Chain A
Amino acid sequence: MSTVDLTPVEGVELAPEGRLVSLGRVRGMGVFLAVLAVTTLVAFGFGVPSGEHAIFLLSGPPALNVSPLTMSVRWVAVALAIGCAALAALLLLRRSARGSYLIFSLGVVLFLWAFLAWAARGAALNLLQMLVGTLVYATPLVYGSLSGIMCERSGVVNIAIEGQFLAGAFLGAMIGSASGNLWLGVLAGAVAGGLFGALLAFLALRYGADQIIVGVVIVAFCTGLTNFLTEQVLTPDQSTLNSPQTFSPLAIPLLSKIPILGPVLFDQNVFLYGAAILLVMVHVALFKTRWGLRVRAVGEHPRAAETVGIHVLSVRYRNVILGGVIAGIGGASFTIGSIGEFSAGMTAGLGYVALAAMIFGRWRPFGALGAAVLFGFALSLQSYLAVLNVGIPSPFLSMAPYVITIAVVSGLVGRVRPPAADGVPYSRD
């Protein structure tokens, strides 16, 4: 899977794809986990009276109820701290970097568990709804990062995801509301995103304009345009043009009856299922098919690809437009997926977070999924912690996803290796 299946071309350095992890970084992660373990022990373990309990509710929105889990905060924290310390030791003693991210993530999950137990002390926290929230927030991020992957694997930087989100959210809401048919809304979102993908492709590929600049300006354009049209068109006619229904959850028979996981994963709206299907499709298409091999060849070494008869610019046009379509559908999920109304600037920078998820996920669909779930959890956590007594002012909770993004991009990812020709205009001569 992680082997590079490009035939070596002279002058191309075939670095192993993805993340370049040094042992030093693994040690760093070990030290970080050790710090987390100590924090858990001191702050969450012995920082609370031994009698305090936390209740985790596991009742799903509509589906079956599981009896709530009651835990003694102190002893849960102690146990988790020991687990975290053991993982830290494991990292510090390792001789190879392989698999260390898995160990690290496990340690972070243990820490978060202890943190949640502490935050919910003397109160109840609905864990299940928090997990559902995680997925709801992660869904557009998955679409956004898949859009980025489609474009960048073919060698075009798509920093316009935020704009395509806005365009998709706007047109999805408007058409979905005016026609009363939500599927038409999805289609409209896809078209809107695709149009801006086409604009990016047209300016970047035909005229060799700087891709990052065109991307940033597309975001500015979409922001201005959707604000203008909201004010000028939607607001005067709010009830017909900006009041779409939203997709209701669709329970998958049998699977949705699984305790805990069932309602979280299999009783969701179509955008979540769509993201899952798309994720698998993009992964298989990119890494298992001839088409994907061509796309990656174009993204790594377009000259070589051209030599073997691949039309570089057509591949890029197709991928950038497809990427726009995907981001547009993701945008539609903001309005007809959950909120049921378009409001100016409602995507709040999540298009850029999706870009960070793509980078964190090393330009691979499942890597991006992991990152999207992490960011989704941070966003969901923030809305739940606001009601618990954690003593953190709410602006700092709102900051959390962005701080985590920076930490992830600078601390965990380190130097990543993007597709070699990413962002480089191609001309045949």
Chain B
Amino acid sequence: MSATSPAEAPERPAAPPPAGAPAWRRFVRFVTEANVAMVTLLAVVGGLFVGAILIVVTTPATLHAWGELGSHPGRTFSVTFQTLGNAYGALFVGSVISPSALGHAISSGQGWTGVFTPISETLVSATPLILAGTGVALGFSTGVFNIGGQGQLIAGALAATYVGFGVHAPIGIHLPLVILAGAAGGAVAGFIPGILKARTGAHEVIVTIMLNYIFLYLLEYLLTTQPLQKPNQSNSISRSISSTGQLPHLFGSGLRVNLGLIVALAVAAGASWFMRRSTLGFQFKVIGANPAAGRTAGMDARRATILVLMISGALVGMAGMSTLAGTDFFLSTGYGGNTGFNAITVALLGRNRPLGVVLGSLLFAALSTGGRYMQASTGVPIDLTSVIQAVIVFMVATPALVREIFRLREAGAGKILLFTKGWGG
């Protein structure tokens, strides 16, 4: 097995075009080198390509058409493109904008809410991803791998629910309390793996995964007990939070996009400042990059581990709060679904930078929002989008692979800044 490592192969980048070079030359150079933008773009192309293959090989109509490749090649391709066009068209229409609805709105002057519904839904799904993804990214840059998103999200949503229905106050006081409760719940859930890692050396990957299940069952239990369970109800659903604890809509009641989005963007901006400008953020980064150097400089690595898991958990907990107080208003079993895990992929896609996380969240939110529409209108299961998402992250995590597939030039960028360690760390 020839196992040379192209990732390490020294490859001298060609001299960049001189500053006065014509714009088209600089553009050609940009699209042929493996910079962050190109790697991500091509990763998305790769993800959609794998998704397309899956659709083709699992749809009876296209499979049949490919069987006739020899006799009716034209039909093969038209059926294939029609099937794919329908599915991916639905993905776009469901997440961004529907051209026909737009045309109708322009000509009749009505139905503008419908035009903006897809994009509003995408922003709604992006909100928890931005919060949770930023939380996971913070952990990554300190060498802490927080897979406990699901548990922390449930903990945050639980705390926010208790405060949401238990406290009676005007919105100016109540809503901030709900938001803080979400953060506090997540922080508590993050504290457990933090203290265990610092005190006993238990690896956070295992502890956080186990905590996911523990919180899932804890929620299941609490949903059958007072005061959480909705009174006179046999279903496992919680009381609804009162209207003063809900995140207000941004553009009227027709669109679900709410204040949570603004909170999420503010948190991402704050995290960006924290990691780049604050002393504590600097310490986190040093300890993540080189714990020994951090210790030599007098930093307390154990304290940093606990703190970073608490902060990370707090942000993920806010993600749980954002869906609760923004759109759902009550809890049910299995709350949060895959958001905790998607936060990891979003953090990787955003290369651990808050801005990247925001963009990655928008992309993944669009895929899943569009996926729901795709499933409803064409019958292609929404799980296709998780496959596409996984492929995207595979490729983003191995830029060398993308470079090889698409024959790009080395650009040095695109390496994910994170510092995971083996089990002993």
A409 CA / B199 CA spacing, docked (Å): 12
Verify A159–B205 contact, CB threshold 8 A: yes
The verdict on B170 contacting chain A, using a C-beta distance below 8 Å, is no
Tell me which residues across on chain B come within 8 A of A406, comparing CB atoms: 196, 202, 206-207, 210-211, 214
A187 CA / B242 CA spacing, docked (Å): 56
- Of A212, A355, A416, A417, most B-chain CB atoms within 10 Å: A212
A342 CA / B209 CA spacing, docked (Å): 23
Verify B206–A409 contact, CB threshold 8 A: yes
Given contacts A157-B422, A314-B3, contact A429 B397 (CB under 8 A): no
Verify B394–A399 contact, CB threshold 8 A: no
Given contacts A205-B3, A220-B393, A411-B200, contact A232 B398 (CB under 8 A): no
The verdict on A216 contacting chain B, using a C-beta distance below 8 Å, is yes
The verdict on B145 contacting chain A, using a C-beta distance below 8 Å, is yes
Closest A residue by C-beta to B219: A395
The verdict on B424 contacting chain A, using a C-beta distance below 8 Å, is yes
Contact of B8 among A209, A216, A413, A427 (CB under 8 A): A427
Closest A residue by C-beta to B387: A224
Given contacts A220-B345, A393-B221, contact A210 B387 (CB under 8 A): no
A220 CA / B339 CA spacing, docked (Å): 12
Verify A395–B221 contact, CB threshold 8 A: yes
Tell me which residues across on chain B come within 8 A of A213, comparing CB atoms: 348, 393, 397, 416, 418, 420
Tell me which residues across on chain A come within 8 A of B137, comparing CB atoms: none
Verify A415–B345 contact, CB threshold 8 A: no
A411 CA / B400 CA spacing, docked (Å): 41
Verify B384–A415 contact, CB threshold 8 A: no
Given contacts A208-B8, A221-B391, contact A227 B386 (CB under 8 A): yes
Tell me which residues across on chain A come within 8 A of B77, comparing CB atoms: none
The verdict on B359 contacting chain A, using a C-beta distance below 8 Å, is no
A51 CA / B214 CA spacing, docked (Å): 37
The verdict on A111 contacting chain B, using a C-beta distance below 8 Å, is no
Which residues in chain B, 54-111, are within 8 Å of chain A measured between CB atoms?
A: 54, 58-59
Verify B424–A415 contact, CB threshold 8 A: yes
> CB-defined interface of A396-429 with B at 8 Å, one 1/0 digit per residue?
1011001101100111011111100011100111
Tell me which residues across on chain B come within 8 A of A415, comparing CB atoms: 200-201, 424
Task: Tell me the smallest distance from the CB of B336 to a CB of chain A, in Å.
Answer: 15
Contact of A399 among B8, B203, B218, B400 (CB under 8 A): B218
Verify A410–B221 contact, CB threshold 8 A: no
Verify A313–B394 contact, CB threshold 8 A: no
Which residues in chain A, 302-318, are within 8 Å of chain B measured between CB atoms?
A: 311, 313-314, 317
A231 CA / B383 CA spacing, docked (Å): 9
A415 CA / B203 CA spacing, docked (Å): 9
Given contacts A395-B217, A403-B214, A406-B211, contact A359 B345 (CB under 8 A): no
The verdict on B316 contacting chain A, using a C-beta distance below 8 Å, is no
> CB-defined interface of A272-316 with B at 8 Å, one 1/0 digit per residue?
000000000000000000000000000000000000000101100
Tell me which residues across on chain A come within 8 A of B147, comparing CB atoms: 216
Verify B380–A232 contact, CB threshold 8 A: yes
- Of B205, B385, B393, B421, most A-chain CB atoms within 10 Å: B205
Task: Tell me the smallest distance from the CB of B294 to a CB of chain A, in Å.
Answer: 19
Which residues in chain B, 363-410, are within 8 Å of chain A measured between CB atoms?
A: 380-381, 383-387, 389-391, 393-394, 397-398, 400-401
Task: Tell me the smallest distance from the CB of A183 to a CB of chain B, in Å.
Answer: 26
Verify B418–A398 contact, CB threshold 8 A: no
- Of B59, B214, B401, B421, most A-chain CB atoms within 10 Å: B214
Verify A414–B200 contact, CB threshold 8 A: yes
Tell me which residues across on chain A come within 8 A of B383, comparing CB atoms: 224-225, 227-228, 231
Closest B residue by C-beta to A208: B7
- Of B203, B211, B212, B390, most A-chain CB atoms within 10 Å: B390
The verdict on A223 contacting chain B, using a C-beta distance below 8 Å, is yes
Verify B206–A208 contact, CB threshold 8 A: no
> CB-defined interface of B292-306 with A at 8 Å, one 1/0 digit per residue?
000000000000000
Task: Tell me the smallest distance from the CB of B383 to a CB of chain A, in Å.
Answer: 4
Contact of B214 among A217, A399, A417 (CB under 8 A): A399
Contact of A232 among B58, B220, B420 (CB under 8 A): B58
Contact of A402 among B210, B341, B387 (CB under 8 A): B210
Verify B205–A212 contact, CB threshold 8 A: yes
Verify B387–A225 contact, CB threshold 8 A: yes
A216 CA / B420 CA spacing, docked (Å): 12
Task: Tell me the smallest distance from the CB of A249 to a CB of chain B, in Å.
Answer: 30
A68 CA / B329 CA spacing, docked (Å): 53
- Chain A's interface: helix, strand, loop or mixed, by majority? helix
Given contacts A203-B401, A205-B3, A402-B213, contact A359 B416 (CB under 8 A): no
Tell me which residues across on chain A come within 8 A of B398, comparing CB atoms: 203, 207, 209, 214
Verify A224–B401 contact, CB threshold 8 A: no
Task: Tell me the smallest distance from the CB of B375 to a CB of chain A, in Å.
Answer: 9
A427 CA / B8 CA spacing, docked (Å): 8
Tell me which residues across on chain A come within 8 A of B421, comparing CB atoms: 423
Given contacts A395-B217, A405-B206, contact A224 B424 (CB under 8 A): no
Verify A402–B381 contact, CB threshold 8 A: no
Task: Tell me the smallest distance from the CB of B377 to a CB of chain A, in Å.
Answer: 15
Which range holds the interface residue count of chain A? Answer: 35 or more
Tell me which residues across on chain A come within 8 A of B183, comparing CB atoms: none
The verdict on B423 contacting chain A, using a C-beta distance below 8 Å, is yes
Closest B residue by C-beta to A419: B422
The verdict on B279 contacting chain A, using a C-beta distance below 8 Å, is no
Verify B3–A313 contact, CB threshold 8 A: yes
The verdict on A98 contacting chain B, using a C-beta distance below 8 Å, is no
Tell me which residues across on chain A come within 8 A of B393, comparing CB atoms: 213, 217, 220
Verify B418–A231 contact, CB threshold 8 A: no
Task: Tell me the smallest distance from the CB of B259 to a CB of chain A, in Å.
Answer: 30
Verify A409–B384 contact, CB threshold 8 A: no
Which residues in chain B, 217-242, are within 8 Å of chain A measured between CB atoms?
A: 217-218, 220-221, 224
Verify A228–B381 contact, CB threshold 8 A: yes
Task: Tell me the smallest distance from the CB of A57 to a CB of chain B, in Å.
Answer: 29
Closest B residue by C-beta to A421: B422
A36 CA / B7 CA spacing, docked (Å): 54
A410 CA / B203 CA spacing, docked (Å): 8
Contact of B424 among A159, A206, A212, A417 (CB under 8 A): A417
A203 CA / B398 CA spacing, docked (Å): 7
Task: Tell me the smallest distance from the CB of B222 to a CB of chain A, in Å.
Answer: 9
Closest B residue by C-beta to A417: B424
- Of B202, B211, B387, most A-chain CB atoms within 10 Å: B202
The verdict on B23 contacting chain A, using a C-beta distance below 8 Å, is no
The verdict on B5 contacting chain A, using a C-beta distance below 8 Å, is yes
Tell me which residues across on chain B come within 8 A of A218, comparing CB atoms: 390
Task: Tell me the smallest distance from the CB of B106 to a CB of chain A, in Å.
Answer: 37
What are 24 of the A-B contact pairs (CB < 8 Å)? A159-B205, A205-B5, A212-B420, A213-B420, A214-B397, A220-B345, A220-B386, A228-B54, A231-B383, A232-B381, A313-B1, A314-B3, A349-B213, A359-B206, A393-B221, A395-B218, A396-B221, A409-B202, A410-B199, A416-B201, A416-B424, A422-B423, A423-B422, A423-B423
The 7 lowest CB-CB distance pairs between A and B, nearest first, are A224-B386, A410-B202, A313-B3, A221-B390, A423-B422, A227-B383, A395-B221
- Not counting A208-B5, A212-B420, A233-B58, a sample of 7 additional A-B residue pairs whose C-beta atoms are within 8 angstroms of each other reads A206-B5, A212-B205, A214-B397, A399-B213, A399-B214, A406-B211, A409-B206
- Which residues from chain B sit less than 8 Å from chain A, CB to CB? 1, 3, 5-8, 54, 58-59, 145, 147, 196, 199-203, 205-207, 209-214, 217-218, 220-221, 224, 341, 344-345, 348, 380-381, 383-387, 389-391, 393-394, 397-398, 400-401, 416, 418, 420-424
